Amino acid sequence: MAYIAVPIPNLPGKQDIEIEVTINGERQQMHYRVELLHWADCPAPNTDRVECIQHLLSRYDQEWALYYIGAPTDDFVPITFVKKDEMALQRKMLRGEMA
């Protein structure tokens, strides 16, 4: 699958992103959410960051699937989510099952 990079402004809070693309005449709409997970929100701030991310993701809205973990800073890590049903559609497209 080809990728297109779209810069997203670094704003506080959730950023709901809707992207509509037309590929070979077929229109697809995808919904993403970019959220900054702050290290201070970890139950034990001195915990390993991987464990912190796992903990924060375990409590996340179950309608959204993890899509991408961005480069962490000293204060937060940006996480991109995609709607779960659209993640299944993306996997089908990757396997060439969409015709």
The two tokens of residue 74 are 């000293």
Tens of pLDDT along 18-40? 777 776 777 777 788 888 888 88
Rounded Cα distance between 62 and 43, Å, is: 20
Tens of pLDDT along 40-89? 888 876 678 888 888 888 888 889 889 889 889 898 888 888 888 887 77
Residue 75 DSSP code = S
pTM comes to 0.72
- Residue 17 in contact with residue 31, Cβ under 8 Å? yes
**Domains of the chain by residue range:** 15-94
| Inter-CA distances, 2 with 5, 8, 23, 36, 94, Å | 10, 19, 11, 26, 10
